Amino acid sequence: MKIIGYKLGKLRVPLVTPFKTALRNVDHVEDIVIMIETDTGHVGYGAAPATAVITGDTHGSIIDAIRNYIMPMVTGMEVSQLNQINEIIGEALINNFSAKAAVEIAVYDLFAQAHGVPLYKMLGGGQPRIASDITISVDYIDKMVADSIRAADAGYETLKIKVGKDLGVDIKRVKAIYAAVKDRCLLRLDANQGWTARETVAALHELESSGIELELIEQPVKGADLKGMKYITERVRTPVMADESTFGPREVIELIQMGAADIINIKLMKTGGLSDAIKIADIAKIYDVKCMIGCMLESSISVTAAAHLAVAKSSVITKVDLDGPALCQFNPVTGGATFRGPDIELNETPGLGIEAIENLIPLD
């Protein structure tokens, strides 16, 4: 199976409600989709969103990186040369992790198709069912409480609460949500780099002393502030999870050896695809550190790939935050993973199992 070409498209899917964090407000998922073509007629699917405030990637940079740097270097190669293709993608240009992720996902899709098995089996196998949390966007307290109750009624057992805009109000938000759903849901906090280290410690001490039990606090300080992450980890009972502080394997090793986090959040759009995500999971396994599989605001194309990884590495990826498709008004993808509320189920179709994508706008 040889790579002979590719097509690009843009996918735009409206959200059920606006997605609000300390960094941005969004009302649509917008992905750049790549379809890699082969001489056997098989097509590999990958996708990436623009997340300029986190990875630095825009739609324009993703398209340019794929068109002018990555695909010219891998076109003509045999899909069986997976490791070599991954090295070429990684070295094609500096950073541009989301563009690399989109292409890698499509190549892994083809690699599994070539062997006639679903991707999770190529990555090691497992039980093809996982359950995700759902994000509660930062908003007025009454709105966040209502959204949390609605999520609990829909069967979600874990909620990720967005905070990080105003420390005092954030504490009130968490207390109100905890009072409303504490017997039904676990709570994860995501401050999106919105607090300082001292603010985080003060906030968690107050919440902890109030009897509020949180599953974790995610990336409360700036991604580059590893000392701040370590300061927090050493002073609170709540487990601290690194997100923007860790993009690749080297950063994960440094963070773990510093004792600057208890949990690592793996996102394909940060790691540049599946190959480095696999390395991170294996490194965390060696150090006996647990991981979460997360996503940006993405469609089910790339989230399906992340779900396959989570299934195959379930001994170390013990937490799932793959709610992007659940936040959308509809799923434009035929095939791939099935998303029903918190439940994600993989099918047994080779590769990612994607058959078609509706509403895809071709990019010439």
pLDDT in tens, 190-202: 999 999 999 999 9
Choosing from 20, 100, 121, 267, the catalytic residue is 267
pLDDT at 27: 84
Is pLDDT of 80 > 80?
yes
Torsion sign across C-alpha atoms 90, 96, 97, 103: negative
Q: Which residues are annotated as a binding site for Mg(2+)?
A: 190, 218, 243
Tell me what the mean pLDDT of segment 140-157 comes to: 97
The pLDDT of residue 83 = 98
Distance CA 238, CA 139 (A): 23
Residue 300 pLDDT class (50, 70, 90 cuts): very high
Residues 6+ apart with CB under 8 A from 280: 246, 248, 249, 252, 264, 266, 271, 291
Q: Tell me the binding residues for substrate.
A: 24, 135, 160, 295, 297, 321, 323
Amino acid at 93: L
CA distance 148 to 286: 36
pTM of structure: 0.96
Domain boundaries, the chain: 3-116+359-363, 121-356
Contact call for residues 229 and 257 (beta carbons, < 8 A): no
Per-residue confidence band for 24, with pLDDT thresholds at 50, 70 and 90: low
pLDDT for the residue 135: 95
Burial class (CB in 10 A: 0-12, 13-18, 19+), 346: buried
17 confidence band (pLDDT: 50, 70, 90): confident
State in words which class domain 121-356 has: alpha beta
121-356 matches 3-116+359-363 in CATH topology: no
Q: What share of the chain is helix, strand, coil (3-state, %, to 5)?
A: 40, 25, 35
Phi-psi map region of 192: left, alpha, beta (phi>0 left; psi -120 to 50 alpha):
left
CB atoms within 10 A of CB 174: 23
7 has catalytic annotation = no
pLDDT at 154: 96
Fold of 3-116+359-363: Enolase-like; domain 1 (3.30.390)
Q: What is the pLDDT of residues 43-75, one digit of tens each?
A: 999 999 998 888 899 999 999 999 999 999 999
The pLDDT of residue 19: 75
User: 114 falls in which pLDDT band (50, 70, 90)?
Assistant: very high
Burial class (CB within 10 angstroms; exposed 0-12, middle 13-18, buried 19+) of 34: buried
Please tell me which residue in 20, 100, 162, 319 is annotated as part of the active site.
162
Give strand pairing partners of 334: 356
Structure tokens at 269: 């759009």
pLDDT in the model for residue 137? 92
- The H or E element that residue 8 is part of is strand 3-20
> What pLDDT shows up at residue 22?
63
Give the whole-angstrom CA distance, residue 223 versus residue 150.
Answer: 32
In the residue annotation, 222 being an active-site residue is answered as no
